[in-house]
Each structure stands twice: as C-alpha cells, then as structure tokens.
Amino acid sequence: MSDAENSPPTEPTERRAQPGESSFDSAFEPVSVFGDESTMDLRPGADNCYKCSVCDTTCPVAAVDDDFPGPKFQGPEQWRLKRKEGSEIDDSIMSCSNCMRCDDACPSSVPLSQMHNTARGEYVDEQMDTLSIEYLRNRILANYRTSAWIASKVPRIANFAMNFGPGRWLMEKAMGVTNEREFPAFATQTFRAWWGERGGADASRQNAREARERRGDPVDAEKKVAYFHGCYSNYNTPEVAKALVRVFESFGYEIVAPEQRCSGTPMFANGMLADAERAAEVNVSSFSDLVEQGYDAVASCTSCSMAIKQEYPELFDIDGIDDVAANTFEALEYLRIQEDLEAEIAEASVDEQSFAYHAPCHARNQGLDRQALELFRGLDGVAVEDVGDSCSGISGTYGWKAEKYETSMKIGEDMFEHMHDAAGDVGMTECPTCAMQMEHGTGYEIKHPLQLLEEALC
Ligand code: SF4
Ligand code: SF4
C-alpha cells in the first residue's frame, strides 16, 4: 500500500480554475451531505443506482401507501436532491419502517437502509421540532428500554396501567400511541434477575462442563458465548432468553450475559442516531472485550443481530466495532454452524403440534429466513408451515404509532391470511415485534424457535 493510501483523508481546499477548466469544474467540491464523508461516503452507493426500481416493488409500505415515494427516492434520489443548496430532507423518510427489505432486493448493492438511516437521522436532528408531541412520542418509543426498566420495578401495576382503557384512550389522543393494540405484559421477574439468582456465569460454566461430560466432548473445550438478550427478552419474554441458556448449555456452551443496552433498532427507525450511538458504544465496549477473549456473541432477536452486524459498522465509528460485528450471530444460525443440530433434532421428539412460521424481514436480510423450517422438518411430532414472504407490518415501533396503525395492519393482511390457512394455530417467529403483530392479527399464541428447541433437546 502506498504512503498516500496510508495517510488520513485531507480536507478539500478551494482552488481557482486552471487553464482549460470551466468555472463549473473549479466550483465543484465534494459536499458533505449526511455527515463526515471520511467515515460514511454515500456517493458511490448513490452512483451505483441504475434506476431499475426493483427496490420499489419490494417495499411493503409503498405497496399500501400511495403517498410513500419508495426506497429509490428515499435513498439515491433524496441523496442527490439534498446536495442542492438549501434543500431539505423530505419528511416522507419518517414513513419508511426500516424493514430493510429494499437492501436485500437491490441488484446493485446500493446501501439503501444506510442511506435511509442517515437521512432520517438528519431529518430528526435538523428539521424536526424537538418540542413537538411527535418527537416526544418517538423518543419514548425509541427508548423502550427506559420505560421497560421503570415498569419492571412494578410489573403488575405497570401491566394494569398500560392497558387501562381510559389511560390508553388518553395516550392515543395526547401522544399518538395507538389504542388498538394491547401492550405486551412485563414479566414479574426479568431475565437478568433470574440469571443472577441462578448463579450467573459461574453456574453456566458448571452446567456446560457437566453437559460436555455427558456428551463425551472434551471437558476443557473452549465453547463460550456472550449472550445479547436485548430489551424484550429481558423485560417481557424471559422464557425465550431462558430457552437460549438451557439449549446452549446442553451443547456444552458456557454463557456470559455482559452489561448491555438496547441494540438500537427502534432508535434507527425513529432517526434517534445519537441515542443509538450511545447504546452501541456500551454494547461494543462490553462485547469487544469478550470477543478478544475468544467468545462469540449470540442474539435471540434477529433485529438485534442485524443491528450489530450491519447497522453499527455502517453508521458508527467505534473501536472494536468490526470485530464485534464479525463475531455476532443469531442463536439458531450459530448452533447450525457449530453443531450438528439437524442430527440431534432427528433423534428427538415432542408432543404433536403445528406451527405457522413467519420469517422476520431482518432474518431474511441475514439469509436466515428458511432456518427454522429446515431445522424442524426433521423433528418428530412437529409440522412447521411457512406463511409466505410478506412483511408482518409492525416493524418495531412503526405499528404502534396511531397514524401508521392502519398501514401496518394492511401490510400484515397477507401474513394473517396465510396464518389462518396454515394447519397450526400457534405462530412461530424469531422477532418479538413480529410476534406481537401475529398475535394481534390472529389471536394465536406465538413461540420463538428456541422454545421448541428447548422442548426437543432439554
Ligand atoms: S426499509 Fe422497508 S419500508 Fe423503508 S424503504 Fe426500504 S423496503 Fe420500504
Ligand atoms: S434496486 Fe437498487 S439499482 Fe434498482 S432502483 Fe433501487 S436502489 Fe437503484
């Protein structure tokens, strides 16, 4: 590599027109549009777009909302428009649900969601009234972990208050949080409280050693994972987090549950990039130390693994971020890579049951949309039916906004219909907010694949 390539990027300097150059040439200087271009240069991405419009045809919001201009506009076109002096980000960027399906669809690898995230962040920072109800509502929704932490101190009272009719009516009128959905219940004991009571990493080390002995694996084998449980498994569905712990330990993995914040997923979707960066700094710092010690990071939520693997390195410059991103896996993905999971499943059996499985958009983006179907095909007593490739429509906080509720339900119609057509009347998915939408649209109980794996193997 030449010295020039090793040198840090230098600031562009103004210069006069040279003989043979037009004044237009001399006037042209790279413009930093969405922040520091030395770390986030979106121009090559914009230039890669050849306007095929494939992304527009896969956008679930554009399919049901005639006012939404679609990913091509929100990405490369808006980027170019913004280069014109005085122009602003179009407010329709707030109608993008950040499902990231367009990323997957683009044949030219245009970094659409990176463009959307940066544009949304710029819109919120520079154009949104931070005293408005909409901003306040979005900030509260984006920082779900804060509300959940408070609610977890008094879960029974919180569960009553959050679904108290007149309070919900007021919340919709005053804050724009839809009254149509039931708030998910807070657990009476968080995952972290259970984990601590159980003995934390020491107990896990012991359980893992015993499992390795039972399995005939070398007792000193280095099987270590750092669990990113995220907010929802901690505060609302600790049964999913516990299933992960039991399943991984049964394969001989020692688990640690390091300090962590929200993955940032709801913050990206609401353009709260400063909040997301603060959370990412804590997460990367916690997990990079462990990655250096030989741990891999596993997440039970596909949006959390997506955020760490893709959105963090695309949007932030934090020490250790690339190593953490490269060593983060979704839980089932990890076990399928490291273990002969199919063989273990083939020898197991459970009580007869049928599931209607929905692959979350963020699982699709990581190439994980078939994993539960392929895995459980071999499990005696179980039928898992794919309900198609549509988006569930809720996209985290999106479907909780009163003005987006109808759009969210229209997007989900396909999935609801296919769930009703499927033989099973229990749903299955890896994403907690898709689970909320599945339950809301069909009334079905929803399980995480880890819970079925626990039933089969533990
Ligand atoms: S992220 Fe989803 S909603 Fe947003 S533009 Fe892309 S496909 Fe549409
Ligand atoms: S799919 Fe990619 S190349 Fe085609 S219009 Fe969209 S961004 Fe451009």
Number of structural domains in the chain: 4
CA 257 to chain centre: 19
By residue range, what is the domain housing residue 299?
191-338
Per-residue model confidence (pLDDT) at position 221:
84
In the predicted model, what is the mean pLDDT of residues 319-324?
Answer: 97
Of ligand 2's listed atoms, the one at least distance from the Cα of 109 is: 2
What span, in angstroms and rounded, lies between the C-alpha atoms of 289 and 284? 8
> At residue 232, does pLDDT exceed 90?
yes
Is the same domain home to 324 and 264? yes
List phi, psi (to 5°) of 34: -110, 45
- Ligand 1 center to residue 212 CA distance, Å? 44
Statement: residue 317 has pLDDT above 50: yes
The token pair that represents 203 in the structure block: 């107990």
Indicate whether 218 and 351 sit together in one domain. Answer: no
Ligand 1 centre to CA of 95 (Å) is 9
Query: How far does the centroid of ligand 2 lie from the alpha carbon of residue 72, in Å?
Result: 6
Nearest CA to ligand 2 atom 6: 55
Return the pLDDT at 87. Answer: 87
Query: Do 157 and 51 share a structural domain?
Result: no
* 198 and 306 both lie in a single domain: yes
Cα(108) to ligand 2 centroid in Å equals 6
CB of 75 shorter than 6 A to ligand 2 = yes
In a domain, 10, yes or no: no
* Encoded tokens for 394: 């809720």
Residue from 110, 114, 115 whose mutation best tests the ligand 2 pocket (most atoms within 8 A of CB) = 110
Give the residue-averaged pLDDT of 376-401: 96
Amino acid residing at 235 = Y
Distance 70 CA to ligand 2 centre (A): 11
**CA-nearest residue, atom 6 of ligand 1:** 102
What is the model's pTM?
A: 0.90
* Pairwise CA distance, residues 158 & 160, whole Å: 5
Asked if residue 122 belongs to a domain, the reply is: yes
The DSSP-derived string for 65-88 is: -TT---HHIIIIIHHHHHHSTT--
Same domain (yes/no): 199, 85: no
pLDDT in tens, 260-308: 999 999 999 999 999 999 999 999 999 999 999 999 999 999 999 999 9
Model confidence pLDDT, tens digit, residues 104-160: 999 999 999 999 999 999 999 999 999 999 999 999 999 999 999 999 999 999 999
List all residues whose CB is within 6 A of at least one atom of ligand 1: 59, 61, 71, 74, 96-102, 112-113, 116
| Tens-place pLDDT, residues 19-60 | 334 444 444 444 444 444 444 677 778 889 999 999 999 999
If asked whether residues 200 and 317 sit together in one domain, one would say yes
In a domain, residue 12? The reply is: no
Of residues 227 and 42, more confidence is placed in 227
Q: Rounded CA gap, 121 and 268, in Å? A: 8
Residue 106 CB less than 6 A away from ligand 2? yes
Q: Is residue 185 part of a domain?
A: no
Read off the pLDDT of residues 173-226 as tens digits, 9 standing for 90 and up.
Answer: 999 999 999 999 999 999 999 999 999 999 999 999 999 999 999 888 889 999
Q: Decide: 73 in ligand 2 pocket, CB within 6 A.
A: no
- Whose Cα sits closest to atom 8 in ligand 2? 49
pLDDT in tens, 344-386: 999 999 999 999 999 999 999 999 999 999 999 999 999 999 9
Per-residue pLDDT, 278: 98
Q: Are the CB atoms for 300 and 268 separated by under 8 Å?
A: no
User: Under a CB-based contact definition with an 8 Å cutoff, are residues 255 and 326 in contact?
Assistant: no
Q: What is the pLDDT of residue 258?
A: 98
Q: What is the CATH number of the domain that holds 69?
A: 1.10.1060.10
* 202 and 332 share one domain: yes
pLDDT over 80 at 9, yes or no:
no
**Is residue 142 domain-resident?**
yes
Whether residues 199 and 105 fall in one domain:
no
Q: Which of 61, 100, 120, 389 to mutate to test the pocket of ligand 1 (most atoms within 8 A of CB)?
A: 61
Give CA 151 to chain center in angstroms. Answer: 22
Q: What is the pLDDT of residue 86?
A: 77
pLDDT band at 80 (very low <50, low <70, confident <90, very high): confident
On whether both 118 and 156 belong to a single domain, the answer is: no
Q: In this structure, is residue 204 part of a structural domain? A: yes
Distance CA 288, CA 308 (A): 12
Q: Is the shortest distance between the CB of 72 and ligand 2 below 6 Å?
A: yes
Mean pLDDT in residue range 331-355: 96
Asked if residue 255 and residue 138 are part of one domain, the reply reads: no
Q: To test ligand 2's pocket by mutation, which of 43, 77, 106 has the most ligand atoms within 8 angstroms of CB?
A: 106
Does residue 431 have a pLDDT over 80?
Answer: yes
> Which positions ≥6 away from 358 have C-beta within 8 Å?
387, 392, 415, 419, 427, 428, 429, 434, 438
Nearest CA to 265 out of 78, 417, 137, 396 is that of 396
Q: Which residue would you say has higher pLDDT here, 327 or 84?
A: 327
Q: Is residue 109 within 6 Å of ligand 2 at its C-beta? A: no
Q: What is the model's pLDDT at position 227?
A: 98
Is the residue at 309 inside a domain?
A: yes
Instruction: Identify whether 221 is part of a domain.
Output: yes
CATH of the domain at 397: 3.40.50
Q: In 3D, which of 2, 26, 32 has the Cα closest to residue 14? A: 26
* Distance of CA 241 from the midpoint of ligand 2 (Å): 38
227 & 138 share domain: no
pLDDT computed for residue 40 by the predictor: 64
Is the model's pLDDT at 63 over the cut of 70?
yes
Asked if residue 390 and residue 327 are part of one domain, the reply reads no
